[in-house]
Structure 1
Amino acid sequence: MRIIISTLSLLLMFLFITNPIMAQVPNIPPRILSATQIYKQAAPATVVIRTDDDSQGSGIILHPSGIILTNFHVIEGAKKDITVKLQDGKTYKVTGIGTVNPLYDFALIKINPQRSLPIVQMGNSERLEPGEEIFAISTPKGLEFSISDGIISQVKSDVMFCPDCIQFTAPVSPGSSGGGLFNNRGELVGIIAARFPSATVQNINFATPINIIKSNLNNQIRSLSNYSGSITSLLQSMSDPGLLGIYYLRHDEPDLAIEFFEKSIPRHSSDPELQGIESAILAELYLDKFTRVGDTSNLQNAKSYFNRAISLGFKEPEVYTGLGITAVLLNDTQSYRIAYNELLKIDPEQAQELSLFRENIATLEKEFEGTSSKTEAKTRETKLRSKTLEIFNNSFNLKENEKK
């Protein structure tokens, strides 16, 4: 899938920033601690999280009353039950959901322990530097309350699946998500969010900075006691649909991304710039869907959203390229000319690519001229989709490579 990656960052400005829900911890003069000291200080405030969809992750206790920080993706698939296990072996059912932020992949959950729980010491992720020693405490592959060490590789690694994340080398595995990343003073500087998605890559891991999390927390906890639906549905209802669209886009679930971007656009009627960005993303998603499953209705939807993005002022070259592609496939000469002429002004190379695409499709159409069998029609559509995907990928790869 090829999406205008740069547009996603523009959505960040529309997050609501409210008062943090943090326990106040006394200021303690910083001192360097050993790995053993850090573990003794932080592990009691680390938890194991399991959901009834067989997901497992980790979490960090932020408040003695039982407010816990974890990843959104750890609990996103839960149906009815989320269970939290403390280091002392006691388990609790989650009774409430707090702040939910799919964009930065974090969420707050609440348990009722009937006692005061240990909490972590908060750090300042803005002060991190490459090469600084860090420690990860989590539950990798079910190995509860494990610690590993490494260094900060980059303070901000702007990767698609983890924006503005801390890159670090401490080994983590599935089940580590939601665990804590600590500096050598035992302060929480991030929560473990992701590994580089490749079996051939080692120790390229990412954590959401704690400062980003602190600035996006609020005081609201939604009780689960009178809620009859699934936890997944509740999480979705508590989230901005545009942020959910980005979340599902990053997690390679384009059809769910379409669903939530469709819901998001009407909510932003007073913000044409944001509507234009979301329209462009939706248009690309529908064009991508055509390359996956066919169906001209996906082309019609793509064309409609490309035009909408342009009318709202989002006039990037990729938008005109997408409009031109859909116009060719729909035999819409007028829309093609509009797209091609605009590309000539702002990106002649893309205009040339679009013209070549049109010629290739015309050649393909001649190849199947006069045929009517279902087999031949299916072959034609397969070739159309393949050729569309080829230019679509080439166009967007060109733009992304220029930015790197």
Structure 2
Amino acid sequence: MSQDENGLREKDPTRLCPVCRMPISILAVRCRFCGAEVGRPRKEQETFTVKDLGGEQRSTYTVSGNVTEALEAFISEERAQIETKKRERQAAARKSFLRRSKPDNTSAPATPPGVVLPELDETSRALSSSAMASTRSRTARVAQGSPLEIVGRKTLIVAGIVAGLILLYFGTDFAWARIRNLLNSSSVEGEFVYPNRAEEFYASGRPLVEVLEESLTALRYNDTPENREIADKMRRRFLEDVEKNAFAKPFDMYKLNEASRQINRAGQVDSNSATISLMDEINREVGYFKFVLTRVDDNYENATFRLNNPFLQEKEETVSVGDMLQGRFLVKSITPREVLLEDASPKGDGRQLLAKRMEAVIAFK
């Protein structure tokens, strides 16, 4: 290596080798002392300020301390003046209130200042006392009045009260009589007559529950013997039809449910005891038939039923041949999948029923 190259090399900026820590050129890729490869140095990111780029440097204005002290002094003085005015207003209001609440002694005449009145002697004091006593007694007599005047005033008051009561009594009777006459005349002249079409409904084949509702509506508007007779007749027909369907032979679950629906509908508008009694009976009848055969034992001797009767506490019952299910249905035979029953109730009239596993009871034909 020549001397010029060494001179140039010495002028180049240097850095330390990361391995042997000897100075090498900043542009070298291999250390000339240990031979280790060194990467080129990364170019440092240059950072410029506003001043370097030719911009103006912003300055912060600082308020002088004298100005700040002057402002604070001014604010303090203003606050002091406001507080002083506020206290003055409160004091003035307090004085005004005390002046209003102070009693005004206007009963006695004020003595002019500087004038001294002489004291009264015994004669003057006695004369003054007698004058005041006479004045008080005269005032009392005027206020009380004579006994005749008092009696007269009381008599007039009592007479006025009695006369007012008499007028009120007769006037009230007359007014009520007049009102009753007006009401009676208006009711007779403008009485509404509801056309009773129950017979027409029955002749046209309308459902008997609608016929009964029509007769009851007419009776509610016009309570006449004719309407009462029609309502009783339609109620009797309706109850007979409902009972016939509920206890149909052979047994029909659809007819029983329909009879229950109609009797409950009629019970909402008819409060007759016959209607209410039959409604309760049919509701209980529906509850008796809400049982389902759930299990038959292996020997076909016992059968278990799930009861859904809301009128009984038992929810399950196991019976054998000859037993009474729910105290009403006689068990006649038990097979692997069905049980033959007989309705032993008076209105059941020995109807034959068939209960299959997990199915509603049906008539045995």
Q: TM-score scaled by structure 2?
A: 0.23
Greater gyration radius: 2
The structure in which a higher percent of residues are strand is 1
The structure in which a higher percent of residues are helix is 2
Structure number with the bigger relative contact order (C-alpha 8 A, sep ≥ 6) is 1
